[in-house]
Structure 1
Amino acid sequence: MSELPFTLDQLRILKAIVNEGSFKKAADSLYVTQPAVSLQIQNLEKQLDITIFDRGGRKAQLTEAGKLLIIYCEKILIQCQETCKAIEDLNNLQGGSLVVGASQTTGTYLMPRMIGLFRNQYPLVAVQLQIHSTRRTGWSVANGQIDLAIIGGQLPNELNEVLNVTPYANDELALVLPIDHDLAQSEQLVKEDLYQLSFVTLDNQATTRKVVDKLLINSGLDIQRLKIEMELNSFEAIKNAVQSGLGAAFLPVVSIERELSAGTIHKQKVTDLEVKRELKLITNPSRYSSRAANAFVENILPIFASEESPLKKF
């Protein structure tokens, strides 16, 4: 075959239609007209001598040939993106981009600080942060949409088989009390004291709540004996509730550094109770690792895993 029967623009359009679900939405996302999108797909079908979409329904549905084509289409476009990254690397981090991912708590409280340090060292590299569930973040790394990620939850088994999962650091889950709480004056509590407290927690349907409950159970607490006074939908809301004297809570230390420094919340020690979750770095060994990604891993991550790291400050 002397010439390829498709162009990269045609593949980009095809992928956009599949992602958006319709020709019109794909046209809008690509800032072109719908007739232009339709014409490119018609030409692609003619060049390949196949029918790509079943046009009988309201939504653009791929035919069997179309499903096969989109698999290779995505591989080709990813290779093109990685080629661009490799070429950008020739500029020795004087440009280029980095996409990092994180699960909710890490992405909200820790990753922005990491990105800030990275941007100070490499101001010409464009950095994008994507915050999703651990599962979705893992699939994004596997699919090449994210260069690297820090997660706190468990990946599906099928992702553990294809990704590099490296233990990174431990984030403590701390017992916090209102600063004027009677027990805040105690040097240490024992586990039995916890069953007398009123707690503010995440909603019991939240994935993060289930992770927290599991950590508490593994630490030897009988969570059925904990008195839940209030359920809220975010750590920020829980912090405000604790500061307002509405109850105690277990919160990741990384999420309460500002409040601890300001003295608006009290971190209470509990004898024989250490609740920690393991943070992990995930990367895809089958994808190109740019200089920007390598610099982030080598120069930024060790700062937050050291003994002086913000994770271990309090």
Structure 2
Amino acid sequence: MHRPKSTLEQWRILQAVVDYGGYAQAAEQLNKSQSSLNHAVAKLQYQLGIQLLEVRGRKAYLTEQGEVLLRRSRHLTQTVTELEQLASNLEQGWEPSLVIARELVYPMELLTDALAAFLPESRGTRITVVDTVINGTNELIVNNQVDLAICGVPPKGYIAEPLCDLEFHLVCHPDHPLASLGELEDDRELAQHLQIVIKDTGLNPSQEIGWLKAEQRWTVSNFHEAKVILAKGIGFCWVPQHLIQKEVAAGELVRLKMKGASTRRIVLTLVVPQRDNQGPASKLLESLILAKHADTSGDLMPYMLVEL
């Protein structure tokens, strides 16, 4: 009978070293010593007889052979993780905890309503809500790190249930120079001013999405921070309508109008990353979230503006 030369732990350590950009960073994330990680990868390479990593400077890089094997190892570790999770669900029957990824623009009031309805039936299930932006949301889905995810465009291969569409408005302070220009003919005027954008939460952002032509950009973590900056008369930003209704009504912010681009819309969807292993608590919460949007619908529109 053939006995494997390597262990799942060795492959998980290799994945962490690559994903976090080096032994020191991986050791911190895994709460292990750097020397133990070095030893595990060195032993794995010796057992396989193949060089998987090469260190240049302070960073470890995959070799060509290492890239092939790492890709295959991800399927293996993911399968084992899913198998263990399934066994846990079968044993416990009801999940002790649920993690929800919430795209930052999704109204927290809607999610809170669903959670409030879930609470009486929750059996003590602990809830963790993680605020994410674009690639950050999709990475959590692909890596099976969340039970439910409210996202924009889902990763390829995942089925998503539409929830609602959100409208974004281009806004600035009333004293900002852009506010006195009336309707803008095109985006050239915008490009001359400071733009406030929301940072993608992904570990490996791969593309830029939305209008990002301004030479000057300030990047912040959320729309609350963006609004604080706008209130000082600094910059312009695309902000979800529901987050600035009061400020616009009070005249604290003004909408900018531009021919053909005064408004943008996005659709938000609900994804269950591990549908085959979904437990009863997750199913209940999913149904409650969907129920909040049973009477709403929206058309697919361009995604939100962020800097990646």
TM-score interval, smaller chain: 0.5 to 0.7
Q: How far 1:127 sits from its partner (Å)?
A: 3.1
Contact in 2 for aligned 1:172/1:275 (Cα 8 Å): yes
Q: CA deviation at 1:243?
A: 9.9
| Corresponding residue for residue 19 of structure 1 | 19
User: % of aligned pairs identical?
Assistant: 23
Closer, same or farther in 2 for the Cα pair 1:252/1:17, shift >3 Å?
closer
Q: Which has the larger radius of gyration?
A: 1
Aligned length: 258
Which of residues 182, 206, 224 in structure 1 aligns to 2:197?
206
Greater per-residue helix proportion = 1
Q: CA deviation at 1:48?
A: 1.6
Is contact 1:24-1:34 (8 Å) kept?
yes
Give the TM-score of the pair, scaled to structure 2: 0.62
Separation of aligned partners in 1, 2:66 and 2:288: 44
Q: Cα distance 1:265–1:302, how it changes in 2: closer, same or farther (>3 A)?
A: farther
Give the 3-state SS of the residue equivalent to 1:106 in structure 2: coil
Q: Distance in 2 between matches of 1:55 and 1:235?
A: 40
Alpha-carbon spacing, 1:115–1:286, altered in 2? closer, same or farther (3 Å): closer
* 2:55 corresponding residue in structure 1: 55
Indicate the SS of the match to 2:51: coil
**Whole-angstrom distance in 2 between the partners of 1:204 and 1:294:** 41
Find the aligned partners of 1:23 and 1:232 in 2 and give their Cα distance: 29
Question: Partner letter of residue 164 of structure 2?
Answer: A
Gaps of 5+ in 1: 177-194, 214-230, 267-272, 308-314
Summarize the Cα distance change of 1:47–1:169 in structure 2 as closer, same or farther, 3 Å threshold: same
Q: CA deviation at 1:89?
A: 1.8
Q: Is the 8 A contact 1:98 1:128 kept in 2?
A: yes
Deviation at 1:109, TM superposition (A): 5.5
- Indicate conservation of the 8 Å contact 1:171/1:253, yes or no: yes
- 2:16 is the counterpart of 1:35: no
Structure number with higher relative contact order (C-alpha < 8 Å, ≥ 6 residues apart): 2
Q: In the TM superposition, what is the alpha-carbon distance from 1:107 to its structure 2 partner?
A: 6.7
Alpha carbons of structure 1 residues 168 and 292: separation in structure 2 relative to 1, 3 Å: same
Unmatched runs of 5 consecutive residues or more in structure 2 = 172-181, 184-189, 200-207, 212-217, 253-261, 297-308
**1:300 aligns to 2:301 (yes or no):** no
RMSD: 4.7
Paired residue for 1:92?
93
**How far apart, in 2, do the equivalents of 1:8 and 1:51 lie?**
18
Question: What residue in structure 2 maps to residue 79 of structure 1?
Answer: 79
Change (3 A) 1:285 1:29: closer
User: For residue 134 of structure 2, what is the aligned residue in structure 1?
Assistant: 134
Query: In 1, Cα distance between the equivalents of 2:268 and 2:244?
Result: 17
How far the C-alpha of 1:241 sits from its partner, in A, is 9.5
Paired residues for 1:1-314 under 5 Å: 2-90=2-90, 91-95=92-96, 97-106=97-106, 110-111=110-111, 114-115=114-115, 117-152=117-152, 154=153, 159=155, 161-171=156-166, 204=195, 206=197, 235-236=223-224, 252=240, 254-255=242-243, 277-284=266-273, 288-306=277-295
Q: Do 1:168 and 1:280's aligned partners in 2 also have CA atoms closer than 8 Å? A: yes
Give the TM-score taking structure 1 as reference length. Answer: 0.61
CA distance in 2, matches of 1:232, 1:142: 26
- 1:162 to partner: Cα distance: 1.4
